Amino acid sequence: MGRRDWCAAAAALAALAALAASPAWAASRADKVADPDTRAWWHIAEHLSSDAMQGRDIGSPGHQRAAEWVAARFKAAGLKPAGDNGTWFQSFPVHDVRVDSARAAVVRKGGRLPLRFLWDFSVRAADDLPARIDAPMVFAGYCRAQDLTGARGRIAVCINTRRAGLTSGAERLKNAQAAGAVGLIQVDDPGFTIEPFRWPQAYARTVTLAETPPAPTHGFVAMTLSARAFAAMARGSGHDGAKVLADGGAKRPLPVFDLPGRFTARFTTSRRDERGVNVLAALPGSDPKLAGQTLVLGAHLDGYGFGTPVKGDNLYNGTLDDAAYVGTLIRFAERRAGRPMRRTVVFAAFDGEEKGLLGSTWFTRHPTVPKASLAADINLDQLRPLFPLKLLTVLALDDTTLGDTVRQVAAARGIAVQPDPEPERALLRRADHWPFMKIGVPATGFIFGFRPGTDAERRYREWYRVRYHRPQDDLTQPMDFKAAGDFNRFFYQLAESVADAPQAPAWKPGSPYAPKRTDPSSEP
């Protein structure tokens, strides 16, 4: 172990000692949980999402402390290191660009409309983000190509819709650039209540894998704007901004019109190169015929770290997103206590999920096990145990035979399952199972399901409104500990079933995500 490793380990031990001695730890909510497994699970969540871990932002000392601690727990549970060069860690280079400050306003006859950075608007960080922008604006509806004929030299403003059948964010960006706009402002769709847009934003950062830097923007400025700010911006245009957004939310035709004044802004940015760290451990398989196949069990260790204060708190602890479910991996390993299953199982605490699935993407590009051995991935994220577990939403439920195993295990435990009822949210592509699916590995993830109009739905929506990517996702939030324990036991049984099954998971015919096969008869 190098000097840096020793320092990090010492810092981790010091942080954990301080945590154990703190009044908050002494008053643990876990002490009131009757089930021993769930109690142990919540103690882990308390460790990993305590203030001592500083929100576990990628590249931060807090994440390093958390990674060292997780590795120590994996080791104590009887797992083997599965990272780089016989270690517990897989390190990867990332490039981090941050907008440190931004001042913006709409300047027009009669005065200025100031816009507050991270509260009214934000901007995409980029290495070539210009220091300033000053341009007239045009509201271009959905930013379809036909909406942007008058956008050259202007900032195109359009609704940031996530409705099926309309333009995507990537399409709006591409269309605006092709039309000669100098920038794009995407305005919140206030009617998208299944996952509402939230302000303030924690920060404006772009973190990318160093091996795949983003394409240069050539000075094009991409921004987002709150619905409230747009309503003020539209005054004097002859159009009611709130009504325009309501029409967009209803997928009605939208007008194209000039917005009064000029949008002006100044930006300051900073850059740093750092390293992400996945924590990887393995339980080697026992069956000579199946041990060469690898089941990956994943959750993400990273969080947001420090950001814009919300209700006076600037530390985004990330208890349910996703410290608690790294805890589920640890508890499963501890329950196995080194007892193998037929297949090899890799326990992966990925880094950089919150910045774009970076750690899982790196692992699927540079696996520390033979790539051909990857049989399946079961991911733990997007789980909110806020109400009794009666229904599970299962991502990619009908795409692979993993879904069949999920159905069997869930039915035995009295849990109903359903495919994703809200595909507009694109949850399938927003968590660490997605990079595995992209390379052809069967994968799945889960969401606590609810029936429309129930108290469970109310609790679920409230969590996304006030806690998702907020400091309020902390150890004091409402919890249904019985539901949390019920899910963990479902996961333990599922993981064992997949690891011990005679056949590896396989793609089902007709899945749009299945790897494309070349027809040998068509090859020369």
* CA gap 340, 294 in Å, rounded: 12
DSSP conformation class of 303:
-
Domains present along the chain, CATH in parentheses: 3-94+274-500 (3.40.630.10), 96-271 (3.50.30.30)
- From residue 311, how far is each of 29, 203, 226, 460 by CA, in Å? 23, 16, 19, 21
Strand pairing report for 344-350 and 183-187: unpaired
DSSP conformation class of 404:
H
Listed residue (494, 365, 370, 501) closest to 436, CA to CA: 365
The separation between CA 132 and the C-alpha centre of its own chain, rounded to angstroms, equals: 30
| Tokens of residue 376, six digits | 């399946």
| Tokens of residue 311, six digits | 């209700």
* CA gap 348, 161 in Å, rounded: 34
Give backbone dihedrals phi and psi of 176, rounded to 5 degrees, phi first: -65, -40
331 and 41 Cβ atoms separated by less than 8 Å: yes
Q: What is the pLDDT of residues 225-248, one digit of tens each?
A: 999 999 999 999 999 999 999 999
DSSP conformation class of 131:
S
Q: What is the pLDDT of residue 517?
A: 62
* CA gap 512, 454 in Å, rounded: 32
Q: What is the pLDDT of residue 214?
A: 86
Q: What is the pLDDT of residue 516?
A: 82
* CA gap 99, 438 in Å, rounded: 31
Residues in the chain where the model's pLDDT stays below 70:
1-26, 517-524
Q: How many CB atoms lie within 10 A of CB 508?
A: 16
| Tokens of residue 176, six digits | 């605006």
* CA gap 338, 323 in Å, rounded: 23
- From residue 144, how far is each of 149, 240, 374, 401 by CA, in Å? 10, 21, 41, 39
* CA gap 232, 254 in Å, rounded: 18
Residue spans of beta strands (DSSP E) within 28-88: 80-81
Helices 324-336 and 481-500, interaxial angle, to 10°? 50
340 burial (CB, 10 Å; 0-12 / 13-18 / 19+) is middle
* CA gap 247, 254 in Å, rounded: 7
Q: What is the pLDDT of residue 15?
A: 42
Listed residue (47, 84, 90, 8) closest to 358, CA to CA: 90
Q: What is the pLDDT of residue 355?
A: 98
* CA gap 158, 243 in Å, rounded: 14
Q: How many CB atoms lie within 10 A of CB 523?
A: 6
Each residue of 270-301: b (16+ CB within 10 Å) or e? Answer: eeeeeebbbbbbbbebebeebbebbbbbbbbb
